[in-house]
Structures are given as structure tokens and as C-alpha cells.
């Protein structure tokens, strides 16, 4: 989410401003702060999720994005398929 915010804002900026590293890092921090704040407010803090958000805010390799999204989809499908069997494990 943070990376998408950064990319969206970068598309609106002129090339001379978008090429400035200070602007890029400022936008990355500004887009990452609401994501971490949202996790804190909803009490859904998850250290790997925060680390992934920080890592993807600095650079967005397409291989990493594809891996993260596909892993989340696969895990969600497994959870839905096994919901009745895994429901009372605690």
C-alpha cells in the first residue's frame, strides 16, 4: 500500500522533482507512516508486515511484489479451504 502511494504521487510530480532523492525518500516515509499508524490503531501490528512495508518502500522489485501477493493469496485459499477443520485448534 505504501509503495503504491509513493508511485502514485511520483507520477504526478515533474521529472526534475521526481529525480531528487530527498523527495523520493520523503514521499516513502510519508506514505509508510499512515500504513504503520493504521496497523497500530486497528491493533494488527505484525513485525513481518511492517518489515515488508519498510523494504518495499525503499525499492519495489517486481519479483518481490509477485511473491508477496501470490503467497498471501495461496495462504488465504488454504485458510478458506480448511476453515472448518482448523477452527477449534486453540
Asked whether 2 and 56 are in contact (CB, 8 A), the reply is yes
CA distances to 36, 45, 74 from 19, rounded to whole Å, are 26, 33, 37
Confidence of residue 68 (pLDDT cuts 50, 70, 90): confident
Instruction: Convert the pLDDT of each residue in 20-43 to its tens digit.
Output: 777 777 777 777 788 778 888 888
- pTM exceeds 0.85: no
Confidence of residue 7 (pLDDT cuts 50, 70, 90): low
Region 57-70: what's the mean pLDDT?
77
Statement: residue 90 has pLDDT above 60? no
Q: How far apart are CA 13 and CA 31, in angstroms?
A: 15
Amino acid at each position: 500500500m505504501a509503495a503504491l502511494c509513493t508511485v502514485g504521487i511520483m507520477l504526478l510530480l515533474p521529472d526534475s522533482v521526481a529525480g531528487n532523492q530527498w523527495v523520493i525518500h520523503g514521499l516513502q516515509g510519508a506514505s509508510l507512516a499512515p500504513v504503520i499508524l493504521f496497523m497500530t490503531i486497528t491493533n494488527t501490528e505484525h513485525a513481518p508486515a511492517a518489515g515488508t512495508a519498510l523494504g518495499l518502500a525503499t525499492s519495489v522489485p517486481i519479483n518481490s511484489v509477485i511473491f508477496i501477493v501470490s503467497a498471501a493469496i495461496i495462504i488465504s485459499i488454504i485458510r478458506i479451504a480448511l476453515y472448518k477443520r482448523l477452527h477449534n485448534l486453540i
